[in-house]
Structure 1
Amino acid sequence: MSHGGEVTKREREHRPVPAVLAVVVHDHKVLLVQRSNPPDAGCWGFPGGHIEWGERLFDAAERELHEETGVDARAEEVLTALDMQAEEVAEGIGYHHFVLVAVRCAWKGGSGTAADDVHALGWFTLEQVAGLGNRASDGVFALAKLALSPHT
């Protein structure tokens, strides 16, 4: 950190990016999307993305969900936070570091349409999520299990 508590531009560029995952539960299933772009292009995961400046977590989760899928949901609670770090050397992208805040969302409407950076989407039971194996992003099964567990 630079003198006086200010953060330099270089330090700012090497910080994790805060993002949200919208974990929508409906009819004992979770909504997953297959990403079109890095990181995790081609993998199945939860809809989500960057938190915009001044945006609250729940608002970001609802916005990202709607932008990527057209599904409407009400953000209800933070499930957990995940630390995602990946190097996309093959893609020429470089290094990614995200802190992902997973937000459980209650479905309000819409079956979903792939949009934005989404190749495909679907509603999955826990068994179907398990069956994705390495076609799912890291942590997807554990997060789906957490989201589908009864509220305490």
Structure 2
Amino acid sequence: MQTVIAPTLPRVGVLAVVRHEDKFLLVRRGHMPDAGLWGFPGGKVEPGETLLQAAPRELEEETALRATGQAVIDTFESIRHDAQGALAFHYVIIAVRCLLPSGPCPSPQAGDDALEARWFSYADIKALGPLACERLETLAAQVLRAEGVAVSP
């Protein structure tokens, strides 16, 4: 068997998008590049791990909640350069819809690199403004539209 050497960049990351009882589960990031910003739980895909395994694992690490990966919602890139113009990082990010077990809305516990974890309505997400991670509002709106909920621009 031949060993494959993976390139340093780009890396693959996942976001666990959870909507339960009309609210979305978000975490406030503790580390760069989005330290202090609110976004969907997520992180790097580990070697040998499927996207539908990686998203629930990251969700559990950051919120202590267990869910099942259901489907890919969207894919996008996050590319940033440093002050000198050199590539700082390049991620291909896959947003995965995750489903919690039925029942009342559970209380998340922030863990791993999450400073806080809590539930947000879509209106709360829209109000975050500069405290929101890249594409947060867009992904939330995609989920709502897929569920047949009207979303105003």
TM-score (norm 2): 0.84
Are 2:43 and 1:49 aligned? yes
Number of residues paired by the alignment? Answer: 140
The answer for the alignment partner of 2:135 in structure 1 is 139
Gaps of 5+ in 2: 149-153
Q: Which segments of structure 1 move beyond 2 Å, counting only runs of 4 or more?
A: 86-89, 148-152
- Shift of the 29–96 alpha-carbon distance from structure 1 to 2, 3 Å rule, reads same
Superposition RMSD on alpha carbons, in Å? 2.1
Give the residue type in structure 1 aligned to 2:96.
V
Are 2:67 and 1:73 aligned? yes
The answer for the alignment partner of 1:3 in structure 2 is none
Bigger shift: 130-139 or 80-89?
A: 80-89
Name the one with the larger helix percent: 1
Give the residue type in structure 2 aligned to 1:102.
A
Are 2:62 and 1:62 aligned? no
* TM superposition shift of 1:87: 3.7
Question: Quick one: which of 80, 87, 96 aligns to 1:86?
Answer: 80
TM-score (norm 1): 0.84
* TM superposition shift of 1:82: 1.4
The answer for the alignment partner of 2:111 in structure 1 is 115
Gaps of 5+ in 1: 1-6
